[in-house]
Amino acid sequence: MNDRKVIKFIEHRKILFAIPIAIFVITVIVNIILGLEVAIEFRGGTMLTYSYAGEIDTAAVQSVVEGEGHGAVNVTVGSALNSSLETVQISFASSEGLTADKQTELTNKLQEQFKDNQLVLVNSQDVNPTSGMEFFLKCLVAVLFSFILLVIYIAFRFKKIGGLSAGVFALVALVHDIFMVYAVFVYLRFPIDANFMAVVLTTLGNSINNTIVVYDRVRENRTLYGTSMPLRDLVNLSITQSLKRSFNTTITTGMAVLSICVVCAICGVTSIMSFAIPMVIGLIFGTYSSLCISGPLWVLWQEKFGKGYTDKDERKRSDNGGKKASTVRDPKKLMV
């Protein structure tokens, strides 16, 4: 028998809700003060890729380029996919880009400053801001469409426990997750780029999986206990039963992503860090929303507006009572 204590999530809801609210307020303030960089995928600009030899200081490259007055600059290193060349990529996020003369002037400047690295321009690409915005809007439409399908799916699958409201509050949890990923980019000063969309979609998949596990537990316990257990106790029990599985899934996935962070740090590949670090934090907050937000919000809604079983129904039945409650199994025996 597992003697683990049932955690009172519903009773501690004010603290659980206060944490994301505080993060929201602080993030908005920081965003207003410091702003947030948008990568050229969405804003438009120019990407210059140079091959190089030996070791190159990306900070020094960025300092030289910024000194030319071309606006916001991002410098990353990597390897060419079709050869063994080591490359350094310089991105200018702007709606105008660089003319051919300015590119030639900048290349000459860099080759003069980094003679030992034998810089050679291997690719120059202009990004149209219109196509970047179209890509962002398509991603947004895909997310919104998935939200609609998600609410419909949960409404039908969990109709015995008020499926529509369960779907809506699962959606609230997902919106929370999106904002938390955005907050990571704000605090760590990562630019909003394709990595942001990848992190958001991956986080949403993990979060909704954990939320459905919790709802499934609520449905099973509702069938097992009927109206003999108050709704708050029922949901507290269901969330507590889901803790181990949710933690194991998050820790396993998070460790894999952290391994990527370590390898990237060792190899000096910085471009993937804006995916790996937000991914780890997104997994944590996705698990948090599944356990601490969607369930407690659903209980509050059911107690106030739900037509099904609530604690008020239990008190009324006891007052009128007389009827003995059905036999209930020990909750500790249901722990997983």
Residue 325 in any domain: the answer is: no
Residue 25 in any domain: the answer is: no
137 with 99, same domain: the answer is no
Question: What's the rounded Cα separation, in Å, for the pair 109 and 103?
Answer: 10
Contact (CB, 8 A) for 300 and 17: no
103 with 193, same domain: the answer is no
The 10s digit of each residue's pLDDT in 14-64 is 999 999 999 999 999 999 998 887 777 777 778 888 888 888 888 888 888
> How many domains, in total, are found in the chain?
2
Range of the domain at 175: 131-316
162 with 253, same domain: the answer is yes
Model-level pTM?
Answer: 0.76
190 with 240, same domain: the answer is yes
CATH number of the domain that 231 lies in? 1.20.1640.10
Contact (CB, 8 A) for 79 and 86: yes
159 with 142, same domain: the answer is yes
Which residues, 6 or more positions from 233, have their beta carbon under 8 angstroms from its beta carbon? 6
Last residue of a domain, one of 127, 146, 176: 127
Which residues, 6 or more positions from 10, have their beta carbon under 8 angstroms from its beta carbon? 232, 235, 236, 295, 296, 299
266 with 151, same domain: the answer is yes
Segments in the chain below pLDDT 50: 1-3, 309-336
Q: What local confidence, expressed as pLDDT, does residue 158 receive?
A: 85
The 10s digit of each residue's pLDDT in 98-142 is 777 888 888 888 888 888 888 888 888 777 767 767 777 887 888
Residue 253 in any domain: the answer is: yes
